[in-house]
Amino acid sequence: MTNLAAAAEYPASSSFLLRPDAVFDGKEMHTGWAVLVRGDKIEAAGPSTTIAVPNETRTITLAAETLIPGLIEGHSHLFLHPYNETSWNDQVTNESLSFRTAEATAHARATLLAGFTTVRDLGTEGAGYGDVGLKKAINQGIIPGPRMIAVTRAIVATGSYGPKLSTDLDLPQGGQEASGIDEIVRAAREQIGKGADWVKLYADYRWGAGEPSRPTFSLEELAAAVKAAHDAGRPVAAHATTAEGMRRAILAGVDTVEHGDEGTPEVFRLMKQHNVAFCPTVAATDAITQYRGWKKGTDPEPERIKQKQASMKAARAAGVKFAMGGDVGVFAHGDNAREMELLVHEYGFSALEVLRQATSGNAEIFHLTDRGNIRQGQLADLVAVAGDPTQDISAVRQVRLVVKDGVIYRQP
């Protein structure tokens, strides 16, 4: 990987030593540790007395700061911006691909500078294969941004997804439509051929405005798409909010279920049994409910929030594995910490649990063996935050240093 353009703006340092107050290594906190970066890798991490530091190595002292692995956003849409600025429909129908790409470029930068060095970007929502180009530009150092897992267009059942305006208009759709085993398999393979790292399937959706979500694809269709994706070495994420959509996705063999708002104890037990991870996107639920008029802190909790609380409780009781992902794009890019804060303050997780989810946990669920931990040999994706995020999760907003691929993108 080259960093030609980035090198001018963000000078690379081939070797430097980081000396923070504490190190969260992806699993536990340590004091008295130092971390040596060499090239794009972590050369050594451990008690500072045990690290052999080459002569003339630059030392960066991070007083009163905690060094953590670069955070991993589990559910983003870099091609969307908050729905209270522009509705999803209007973004898909009125905003051109060039405009959306320019926005995505700014979103990528904001994400990286907020300490999120990897995103699983779950669909361009009408912006075609824009994510593949964005990822390439980031990887070539043309623009700053996180490492991207791209899913391209995502796959929706014919007729189920929007925008839905006049029946006479042939509008750009928010996903690639498919029906039947041949079409869904072809769609998965087309997307993989164009650069999808994961495949995303919509297992349920609202068939009409104002309707509740209902299943879209049959179990057979979902299973065929999952098989095609897995044959190609691509994991599968399923959008599912209904219990039946979740059940079909799980039985079809998907790797993660997104949202799960109406998940029942039975369906979460099935999820656990099939080792499917759950990405709850509580921040999206919180944001959308507020966009619809909920005055948080004043009004009583709406049904939608109560239901989310109940489903999360059921998921925890069943012992499912949680991915940390907020559906950022529904709310502002760079505000990714919103999901982490809500999980701690409103959903009963400890700060340590959520930090693990956002680092080593997501790395494991997303099969990213080269990151998510601070240890020798891992990619040099590192973030320093003021304070102790294992005590106060909001410390992850106090970003002081961002290193990705051994390149310093932000420093005091």
- Binding residues for Zn ion (CB under 5 A): 122, 327
CA-nearest of 202, 169, 151, 183 to 94 is: 169
CB of 380 to Zn ion, least distance (A): 29
Q: What is d(CA 109, CA 148) in angstroms, rounded to the nearest whole number?
A: 12
Cβ partners under 8 Å of residue 108, min gap 6: 78, 134, 138, 143, 144, 145, 146, 333
282-291 vs 303-318: helix crossing angle, rounded to 10: 170
Nearer to Zn ion, 77 or 247 (CB): 77
Nearer to Zn ion, 152 or 373 (CB): 152
Locate 145 and state its tokens: 């941004």
CB of 282 to Zn ion, least distance (A): 13
CB of 254 to Zn ion, least distance (A): 15
The alpha carbons of the chain give a radius of gyration, in whole angstroms, of 21
Backbone angles phi, psi at 51, to 5 degrees: -95, 125
HSE toward the beta carbon, residue 41, CA cutoff 13 A: 7
CB of 204 to Zn ion, least distance (A): 13
Nearer to Zn ion, 135 or 259 (CB): 259
Nearer to Zn ion, 225 or 237 (CB): 237
How are beta strands 71-76 and 116-121 bridged, if at all?
parallel
CB of 241 to Zn ion, least distance (A): 11
CB of 191 to Zn ion, least distance (A): 16
Locate 318 and state its tokens: 């069943």
CB of 154 to Zn ion, least distance (A): 9
Q: Residue 163, preceding bond cis, omega within 30 degrees? A: yes
HSE toward the beta carbon, residue 360, CA cutoff 13 A: 12
How are beta strands 407-410 and 399-404 bridged, if at all?
antiparallel
Nearer to Zn ion, 261 or 327 (CB): 327
Q: What is d(CA 283, CA 130) in angstroms, rounded to the nearest whole number?
A: 25
DSSP 14: S
Distances (CA, A) of 218 to 177, 183, 252: 14, 13, 10
CB of 75 to Zn ion, least distance (A): 6
Nearer to Zn ion, 25 or 327 (CB): 327
CB of 77 to Zn ion, least distance (A): 6
Nearer to Zn ion, 327 or 341 (CB): 327
Amino acid present at 49: T
CB of 40 to Zn ion, least distance (A): 30
| Closest CB to Zn ion: residue number | 327
DSSP string spanning 320-364?
A: PPBP----BTSS-TT-THHHHHHHHHTT---HHHHHHIIIIIHHH
Nearer to Zn ion, 183 or 327 (CB): 327
Tell me how many degrees the CA angle 229-232-236 measures, rounded to the nearest 5: 30
